[in-house]
Amino acid sequence: MKIELLTIGKNNFPFIEEGIQFYSLRINKYINFSIRYLPESKKLFNMPAGERQRREDEIFLREIKPGTFLILLDERGQQKTSLEFASFMQQLMNRGYRHIVFLMGGAYGVGEKIKQQAHEKLSLSRFTFPHELARLIFAEQLYRAFTLLKGEPYHHE
Amino acid sequence: MKIELLTIGKNNFPFIEEGIQFYSLRINKYINFSIRYLPESKKLFNMPAGERQRREDEIFLREIKPGTFLILLDERGQQKTSLEFASFMQQLMNRGYRHIVFLMGGAYGVGEKIKQQAHEKLSLSRFTFPHELARLIFAEQLYRAFTLLKGEPYHHE
């Protein structure tokens, strides 16, 4: 199984990049995980939010292969505890999905098309986070989920 | 007004330390904010959780001056949106509190004494985070709260 976090735009903060690499390396001891940073299209910057969402939806959808289990990371999604999230990941593995994509929308969020295609909507918190920090939080929770599933202590190395 | 985040133990990850400094510097453009890292007592490591909580409660309470508004950061606390958190901070400023302490418990959480003395209990997410990451998330949200209150754009510098 392969897990991907699909996002738009780079990490501009070195501390975020370092943190994400820290957790990504550790997740990859358990499972194939990577973050894909789609390039931000400057052409979209001056568009109205709705139009920008529609265009970004199309950009995202081109990257998602058929048969992928798609989870939208969205403020209005369902919140899970770390244990619930771990058990959710276990269920997906049991169901035999080969490719799981977590999608984090652009600055204006995603449009209706992605919302309809997503199999699940998951919220990290009621707080609004900058995208970069949200990526770091997600990576840490995914790492935590696998340490929980493997019954391993959570190492604060 | 002075805001303090009171915690036990150091930041061991350089990326967390960098991130916290990044946000702390920015918060201090708006308000006097600092994080106090109380030393971890190795003597407490082998104690049963309840006893350790009681001892750590006492260590914390020694650091909290009378008249302080005490907010416990606790997984079972109330979750706020970023806007609600900003408006909560505004209310505390309006009420004229001179010293606000956000308290993040040790590895085993806090005991009953702190829970009883806390004026509010606030949760960052249903997820469990490592303390260091929780500090970073808190610092970012406090920064966000002040940019919201000042009507300033949130800069992704």
Q: What is the ipTM of this complex?
A: 0.93
Contact A125 B124 (CB under 8 A): yes
Q: Distance (Å, rounded) from C-alpha B6 to C-alpha B63? A: 9
Structural domain includes residue A157 = no
* Segment B123-138, tens digit of pLDDT: 999 999 999 999 999 9
Structural domain includes residue B157 = no
CATH number where A134 lies = 3.40.1280.10
pTM attached to this predicted model: 0.94
Which of B60, B69, B72 is CA-nearest to residue B134?
B72
Contacts of B125 in chain A (CB under 8 A): 79, 124-127, 137
pLDDT band at B155 (very low <50, low <70, confident <90, very high): low
* Residue numbers of the domain that contains B130: 2-149
Element (H, E) at A109: none
For chain A, the domain total comes to 1
Structural domain includes residue B97 = yes
Structural domain includes residue B155 = no
Q: Distance (Å, rounded) from C-alpha A6 to C-alpha A83? A: 23
* Segment B83-111, tens digit of pLDDT: 999 999 999 999 999 999 999 998 788 99
Query: For residue B13, which phi and psi values (nearest 5 degrees)?
Result: -95, 125
Structural domain includes residue A102 = yes
Checking if the pLDDT of A150 tops 60, the result is yes
Contact B15 A12 (CB under 8 A): no
In chain B, the residue whose alpha carbon lies closest to the alpha carbon of A138 is B127
Checking if the pLDDT of B156 tops 60, the result is no
- Most confident residue range from A54-58, A104-108, B31-35: B31-35
Contact A81 B126 (CB under 8 A): yes
* Segment A55-81, tens digit of pLDDT: 999 999 999 999 999 999 998 899 999
Distance of residue B66 Cα from the nearest chain A Cα, in angstroms: 30
In chain B, the residue whose alpha carbon lies closest to the alpha carbon of A148 is B128
Q: Is B109 left (phi over 0), alpha (psi -120 to 50) or beta?
A: left
Contact B127 A133 (CB under 8 A): no
In chain A, the residue whose alpha carbon lies closest to the alpha carbon of B132 is A156
Structural domain includes residue A155 = no
- The pLDDT value recorded for residue B50 is 87
Structural domain includes residue A154 = no
- The pLDDT value recorded for residue A157 is 37
